[in-house]
């Protein structure tokens, strides 16, 4: 008789002492943060190509900063939901690495201590020259023009925009966390965005148990050890309960 997916997933998670979780927009959506997909790919009538690409920044940096200031304002008001908190609490009994495609910082707010931000952070800016990123603890309402105090070049959000490659060091850290894990969780992601999605498929290939938690089935579902359909905020606290 086939084991119940939830019980199988719970058994895998309860035994693991090294857990890696890949999280996507779905987990942040439960904290009230809209995604481009929710809005039909638009922000105040602008396409993603207008506000989240290197070309957009070169063409109209003021518009791009307006977009990210709006995202920062929403991010500052958002609170971690039970899914974020469950992952943070899991650190009481396991080593947990969170690989997140989100840029809102909610995993850190929840208390997770090992977070790899695959796509950057709303709370950092970086120079379009060669200076290292600058961290900001508070929401930024950057005046225009926004220039680096070190070299005078324009500052931009420390975000991986569409068409840009992820930092090789970030990918290396993510791969290492996946390889060291005893169970790999995939939460609130379509398993379509590369190269993040490839980490989950590589876990499957290497025989690491993969537990998927998502509102709908994805290309990963048929390969995962267990797929749980529903809200992460409802499922994760039960799944990861000691």
- List the catalytic residues: 119
Alpha carbon 144 to chain centroid, angstroms: 28
The beta strand positions in 131-193, using DSSP E, are 134-135, 155-159, 183-187
Are the C-beta atoms of residues 178 and 152 closer than 8 Å to each other?
A: no
Are the C-beta atoms of residues 120 and 92 closer than 8 Å to each other?
A: no
Instruction: Give 154's contacts (C-beta < 8 A, 6+ positions apart).
Output: 61, 127, 128, 145, 146, 147, 148
- Quick one: CA dihedral 149, 154, 157, 159, positive or negative? negative
Residues 178, 182, 183, CA angle at the centre, nearest 5°? 80
Q: What is the CA radius of gyration of the chain?
A: 18
Q: State yes or no: cis peptide before 195, omega within 30 of 0.
A: yes
């Amino acid at each position: 008789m086939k084991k119940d997916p939830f019980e199988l997933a719970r058994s895998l998670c309860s035994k693991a002492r090294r857990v890696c979780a890949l999280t996507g927009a779905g987990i942040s959506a439960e904290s009230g943060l809209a995604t481009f997909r929710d809005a039909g790919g638009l922000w105040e009538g602008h396409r993603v190509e207008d506000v989240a690409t290197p070309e957009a920044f070169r063409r109209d940096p003021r518009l791009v900063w307006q977009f990210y200031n709006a995202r920062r304002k929403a991010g500052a008001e958002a609170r971690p939901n039970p899914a974020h908190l469950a992952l943070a609490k899991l650190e009481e009994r396991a080593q947990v690495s969170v690989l997140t495609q989100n840029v809102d910082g909610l995993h850190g707010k929840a208390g997770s201590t090992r977070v790899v931000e695959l796509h950057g952070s709303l709370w950092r800016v970086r120079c379009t020259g060669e200076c290292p990123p600058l961290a900001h603890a508070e929401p930024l309402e950057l005046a225009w023009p926004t220039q680096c105090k070190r070299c005078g070049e324009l500052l931009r959000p420390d975000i991986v925009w569409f068409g840009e490659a992820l930092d090789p060091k970030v990918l290396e850290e993510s791969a290492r966390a996946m390889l060291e894990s005893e169970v790999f969780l995939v939460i609130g992601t379509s398993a379509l965005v590369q190269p993040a999605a490839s980490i989950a498929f590589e876990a499957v290939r290497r025989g690491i148990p993969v537990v998927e938690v998502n509102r709908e089935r994805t290309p990963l579902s048929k390969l995962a050890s267990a797929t749980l359909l529903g809200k992460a905020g409802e499922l994760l606290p039960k799944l990861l309960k000691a």
